[in-house]
């Protein structure tokens, strides 16, 4: 399934006792359609407050339903802030997490002197000007395969800090600055830590070459502030063509949807 959700009122993706999570809500809804309990696995677990435009999940079922029935039946049983975009059968070789070849994120920053009530949970507000050119220059150091130890959370459980960033682009339109990043995988808080570093560089409170220095020192204690979660969007994951997953709106249209 392809899932879209507003992470504002969720305590992240993963089921936790006593709190509201995306996984718990979805498993309850899908289970009602399947008429048996299900366990969902996702492409990339998101933290509290983080949104998703096309999170991919898989589950095993003995039920036979049409793709339309899975989508409509699940959505009827979901709260307003999470929904199924599509459903598609796959064989047992598929795994939402381990079959993914790459993942893509966006980070939205509202750059203006006054806060926006309409984007309070949709973008991070920065009231002073950011130097886009400085941020773009700094971002180039992070593209490619590197040890991202300086950009991972202390609680990160990944066995290796090595990741390959496929692209890292920044653009600005109508006061909205968007960081676009894709990689073969991400460490815990990696995108938010990168965003925090680039914002500091854009403000002029850190040098442009700070990104390269952080890659070299491989020390999270020197890595700056973790940017807030509500500016982060999980956009999509890439899978081998053999699984023939549905194609949805382009990344650009998804970005505009998030900005709106």
Active-site positions read 47
Q: Which residues of 219-241 are buried (b: 16+ CB within 10 A; e: fewer)?
A: ebeebbebbbbbbbbbbbbbbee
Token output for 115: 């806060």
H runs (alpha helix) in 84-243: 132-139, 190-203, 210-217
How many CA atoms are closer than 13 Å to the CA of 17, on its beta-carbon side? 0
Give the residue among 247, 243, 245, 244 at the shortest CA–CA distance from 93. 243
Q: Note the Cα 123 to chain centre separation in Å.
A: 13
Residue 195 DSSP SS3: helix
Q: CA-CA distance, 208 to 250, in Å (whole number)?
A: 32
Residue 101 · residue 240 · CB < 8 Å:
yes
- Residue 66's alpha-carbon distances to 61, 87, 89, in angstroms, are 13, 9, 9
């Amino acid at each position: 399934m392809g899932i879209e959700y507003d992470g504002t009122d969720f305590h992240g993706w993963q089921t936790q006792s006593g709190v509201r999570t995306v996984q718990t809500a979805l498993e309850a809804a899908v289970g009602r359609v399947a008429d048996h309990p299900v366990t969902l696995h996702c492409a990339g677990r998101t933290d509290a407050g983080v949104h998703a435009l096309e999170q991919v999940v898989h589950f095993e079922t003995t039920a036979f339903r049409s793709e339309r029935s899975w989508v409509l039946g699940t959505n009827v049983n979901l709260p307003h802030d999470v929904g199924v975009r599509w459903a598609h059968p796959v064989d047992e070789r598929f795994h939402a997490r381990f079959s993914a070849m790459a993942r893509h994120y966006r980070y939205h920053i509202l750059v203006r002197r006054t806060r926006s009530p309409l984007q309070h949970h949709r973008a991070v507000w920065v009231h002073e000007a950011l130097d886009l050119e400085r941020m773009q220059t700094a971002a180039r150091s992070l593209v490619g395969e590197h040890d991202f130890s300086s950009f991972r959370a202390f609680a990160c459980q990944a066995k290796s800090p090595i990741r390959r960033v496929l692209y890292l682009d920044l653009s600005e339109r109508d006061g909205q600055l968007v960081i676009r990043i894709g990689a073969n995988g991400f460490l815990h808080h990696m995108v938010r830590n990168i965003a925090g570093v680039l914002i500091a560089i854009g403000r002029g409170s850190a040098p442009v070459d700070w990104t390269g220095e952080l890659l070299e020192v491989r020390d999270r204690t020197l890595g700056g502030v973790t940017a807030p979660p509500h500016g982060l969007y999980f956009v999509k994951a890439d899978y081998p063509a053999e699984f023939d997953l549905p194609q949805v709106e382009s990344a650009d249209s998804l970005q505009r949807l998030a900005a709106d």
